[in-house]
Structure 1
Amino acid sequence: MNVAQTAVKSDEYRIEEGKRSLIHDPVEGDNTKITLVRARGSYVWDDKGNRYLDCTSQAWSNNLGANDPRVVEAAIAQLREITHARPNFNTKPLLTLTSKLRDIAPGDLHRIGYALHGSLAVEMAMKLALKNRPGAQNIIVLQDAYHGRSITTMAASWPHPDNPFLPLQPRFTRIPHPDPYRPRLGLDPETDVQLCLSLLEDVIDRGVDGGVAAIMMEPIMGNGGHIVLPVSYLKGVREICDRRGILLIWDEIQSCFGRTGKMFASDFYGIVPDIMTFGKGIGGGFPLAGIFASEKLNKFDSGEDALTFGSFPVAMAAAIATIDAIIEDKLCDKAHDLGIFATGRLKEMAKHRKLIGDVRGPGLFVSIELVKDRETKEPARAAAAEVYRRGVDRGVLFGESRYAGLGNLIKVKPPLDCSVEDMGHALDVLDEVLGSIEADGIA
């Protein structure tokens, strides 16, 4: 096709051709693969003019709400100055953001590094751990962990079905973890915690060769089932790491910047890891991620960690505005209060919606686990997928846990500045959708 023919293609043709040409295979007839054209606050609009209340915050990234004018103006102002600098150079946004993050960092996590997405931030954390524990060859992760979809981070996450990437993936040691909703062998949850801590020590002693550099975990497990790990377990892992000279990495990419009702889950639990990843909510819709690390750890040497666009000035300017807005608008407090409202409503809903097995927080880290039977707790995966689809039809975007139809969680995680009225509407729609699914006998 020549240049003249290319130029006359209509916008509609371009859109359809683009859909056919994407490398990621869409699900045939999937009504949820909508084309977004506009976003403001808690809402997004598609190319047909439909408006949706976004209870996914676009993968939990719009903590501040979509297209906040303060973030947009900060990004535009930076665009007029400098849009790109290679990592050999500093920029004012880089140094200003680093200083602000140091101010709000938990404990002594005053060393800060950057990447453009969470998977590379996790890889940065692992590299720093291995550098600081020479000779230790293993990183331990939890069985239902989720740390990203790069070759390395997929290997550190719960098993991908029919994984075609195994030949190139590193091997991680996965350990069992407590699940307060499903404690093992009918144990009470605290006994299950102690069992899992004992198993962790056993794995460190007898389950690996070459020593353990780090234990990496999400304090609240996101895509692996929104499992809220008990504080006694988190403190127990911290104690084991301290006693054995192992570094503790917390992956806070989903829980950071106000989502739990505190700036970080580390603040919520009162536990400080040695390395902590961040991402998603920091950028106000712009791509940015990175790590906090203890001042006790050695820095990277030249060439060990350098990304061409890792210090993207526009995203960093947006992040500065985002952090300022989260603090000025008291969004951590708002997330705490709105989360109490939401989980309270969901617990009331559970009294008449038999599909709801469990309601979870904290803050706006809100979800429900759907089950076929409350006694057996068998996951209701088909019902969860149907909630998602029917929610779209009613103008509300609910989140799911896991992909490929493997999850049975529904997430209600709008931006932190979502109004009580909008949250109430989302929960009304959820109630209606669950009622229609139960009436249809879907589980």
Structure 2
Amino acid sequence: MLQTSALRRPGLEPGKSDPVGTAERPEKLTLVKALGSYVWDDQGRRYIDCTSQAWSNNLGANDPRVIEAAIAQIRQITHARPNFNSVPLLALSAKLREIAPGALHQVGYCLHGSLATEMAMKLAFKNRPEAKNLIVLQDGYHGRSLATLAASWPHPDNPFLPIQPRFARAPRPDTYRPRKGLTPEQDAALCLDLIDDMIGKGLDGPVAAVMMEPIQGNGGHNEFPRSFYTGLRDLCDRHGILLIWDEIQSGFGRLGTMWASDYYGVVPDILTFGKGVGGGFPLAGILADERLTWFDEGEDALTFGHFPVSLAAALATVNAIQSDKLCDRAREHGDYATLRLREMQARRRLIGDVRCPGLMVAIELVTDRTTKEPARREAQEVYRRGLAKGVLFGESRYAGLGNLIKIKPPLDIAREDLAKALDVLDEVLGDIEGGRP
């Protein structure tokens, strides 16, 4: 079996940067196998995967239906330039139109979420040619390409700033830390008023769109009061501005509905998707309102954007999510996990907040529940100790975050595996709080 040491380059001191990049860092696991909710490393150790590999395996890893669909497509045609249609392209597009919210019946494809976000931004400006601005929310995250990194919450010591576009960042409500003296609902109303003022008199030129994640993933797993979702939709309509929802993390059953749009009862003008659609194969894209003007030839063409193997795998994935009723499974598992975590919160002082819905679950760890000081070191210990006990928890280390633990396994995880993962979490939190090694 392949050994991790065989992949490491000699002569690197701990903490020193590797000129070939991050791929060979010794602290990284080397994964060699995945099936369902499990992954195995090169030492033969098995882990319950509560990360779904970057929240992408909504359907468990290496599902036979997806693998067979990909293999069958490989035998037919593996590449078609975007000038042509292919059978999986037409079939998946029909399926996505069938399950799309509202009238989001125009479909565009690419191979990762950052480009899907860029596609959405391009379409917004094409349909609002007089506009000069695009608004994003504070703490939002939309990718790591040049454009989307600029659209995300500020990258620390950003070396790419001179060649990045500019975005207007609007305040967002915080249900755990609302502004001083305000309830979460009042905070949401204040933010809507501030965004209204920003559009009306705070920017130099018209606005093409407001872009947001319905639940902010990398920026803190932040959900908003429902009044904020409907209020922002109304505000965009009043100003003639497009609303873009980044559903790259929340789509395809993660919240217990096919889309966050279904869960919150708000239909955006453009919706981005990715991650969970491909069953482990790279695919992303957008759904756009049928009333919007689509791209002209050459405005959004990618050589491998219509990768037939990924399209075939995605069709099998979406069909499996429907046939296996994984939206229902996500809702049921999420209710169970949330109940367990709230019970845990009553006993574990490190748990400051429990966040859901569906199987988009996270806890925020704090050193003090009154001051809500982030417990970053303790969260890293939860990850490390969970790993030693056979559970991969999600975490947020980017840009100084680090006190969130995320529990986002495949939607079809067995209940006993989800229960075991939560048992491990409870155990390691108790050990950390008790000062046990």
- TM-score by structure 2 length? 0.96
Partner of 1:358: helix, strand, or coil? strand
User: What CA distance in whole angstroms lies between the structure 2 residues aligned with 1:219 and 1:294?
Assistant: 18
The aligned residue for residue 137 of structure 1 is 132
Question: After superposition, what is the alpha-carbon deviation per residue over 1:43-102, rounded to whole angstroms, capped at 9, x for unaligned?
Answer: 000000000100000000000000000000000000000000110111000000000000
Contact kept, 8 Å, 1:222 with 1:401, in 2: the verdict is no
Retained in 2: the 8 A contact 1:381–1:406? yes
Partner of 2:285: 290
2:372 aligned with 1:361? no
Correspondence for 1:15: 7
Any residues of structure 2 matched to 1:320-359 within 5 Å, and which? 320-359=315-354
Instruction: Say whether the 8 Å CA contact 1:248–1:275 is kept in structure 2.
Output: yes
Within-5 A mapping of 1:147-296: 147-296=142-291
Q: Which residue of 2 aligns with 1:24?
A: 21
Measure, in 2, the Cα distance between the counterparts of 1:114 and 1:28: 33
- For 2:10 and 2:278, locate their aligned partners in 1 and report how far apart those are by CA, in whole Å: 27
Cα shift readout 1:137-157 (whole Å, capped 9, x = no counterpart) = 100000100000001101000
Equivalent residue letter for 1:230: P
* Distance in 2, Cα, partners of 1:367 & 1:287: 25
| Matched residue type, 2:21 | H
Equivalents in 2 of 1:364, 1:333: separation in Å? 11
**Which residue type is aligned with residue 386 of structure 1?**
E
Distance 1:24 1:391 in 2: 27
Asked if the contact 2:39/2:49 (under 8 Å) is kept, the reply is yes
Helix, strand or coil at the partner of 1:221: coil
Partner residue of 1:410? 405
After superposition, the C-alpha distances for 1:356-403 in whole angstroms (9 at most, x for unaligned) are 001111000000011111111111111112211111111100001242
**Residue 108 (structure 1) aligns with:** 103
Percent of aligned positions with the same letter in both sequences?
A: 68
* SS state at 2:158 partner: coil
Query: CA 1:19–1:99 in structure 2 vs 1: closer, same or farther (change >3 Å)?
Result: farther
Task: Give the equivalent residue in structure 2 for 1:7.
Answer: none
**What displacement does 1:439 show?**
2.1
SS in 1 for 2:287: strand
RMSD over equivalenced CA pairs, Å: 1.8
Q: TM-score, normalised by structure 1?
A: 0.94
Q: Give the distance between the partners of 1:22 and 1:331, measured in 2 at CA.
A: 43
Change (3 A) 1:431 1:27: farther
Residue type of the alignment partner of 1:25: T
- For 2:329, give the aligned amino acid: K
Match of 1:306 in 2: 301
| 1:49-68 matches, cutoff 5 A | 49-68=44-63
Structure 2 residue matching 1:170: 3-state secondary structure = coil
Q: Check 1:198–1:286 CA distance in 2 against 1; reply closer, same or farther (3 A cut).
A: same
- Counterpart-to-counterpart distance in 1, 2:92 and 2:229: 29
Q: Which amino acid aligns with 1:67?
A: N
- Counterparts of 1:372 and 1:56 in 2: how far apart (Å)? 24
Deviation readout 1:240-262 (Å, 9 max, x if unpaired): 00011000000000000000000
Offset, 1:229? 1.4
Q: 1:348 to 1:138 in 2, by over 3 A?
A: same
Give unmatched runs, 5+ long, in structure 1. 1-9
Return closer, same or farther for 1:405/1:200 CA change in 2, 3 Å cut-off.
closer
Any gaps of 5 or more consecutive residues in structure 2? 13-17
Deviation at 1:406, TM superposition (A): 2.1
Question: Number of residue pairs matched?
Answer: 431
Structure 1 Cα separation of the partners of residues 139 and 354 of structure 2: 19
Task: In structure 2, give the amino acid aligned to 1:124.
Answer: M
- TM superposition shift of 1:24: 2.9
Please name the residue that 1:5 is paired with: none
Amino acid at match of 1:15: L
| 2:369 corresponding residue in structure 1 | 374
DSSP-derived class of the 1:372 partner: strand
- Alpha-carbon distance in 2 for matches of 1:65, 1:98: 23
> Structure 1 residue 23: deviation in Å?
3.5
Partners of 1:118 and 1:298 lie apart in 2 by 22
* Maintained 8 Å contact 2:216/2:223: yes
**Alignment partner, residue 46 of structure 1:** 41
Tell me by how many angstroms 1:12 deviates: 7.4
Distance in 2 between the 1:19 and 1:98 partners?
Answer: 50
Q: Could you give the per-residue CA deviations for residues 301-343 of structure 1, whole angstroms, max 9, x where no partner exists?
A: 0110000000000000000000010000000000000000000
Identify which range, 401-410 or 364-373, moves more after superposition. Answer: 401-410
**What is the CA–CA distance in structure 1 between the aligned matches of 2:234 and 2:153, rounded to whole Å?**
25
Structure 1 residues 384-430: Cα deviation after superposition (integer angstroms, max 9, x where no partner): 12211111111100001242552311100100000110000000000
SS at 2:374's partner residue? Answer: coil
* Residue aligned with 1:220, SS: coil
Could you tell me which residue of structure 1 aligns to residue 88 of structure 2? 93
| Structure 1 contact 221–229 (Cα < 8 Å) conserved | no
2:424 paired with 1:432: no
2:67 maps to 72
Query: Does the Cα contact within 8 Å between 2:117 and 2:246 map onto a contact in 1?
Result: yes
One-letter amino acid matched to 1:220 = I
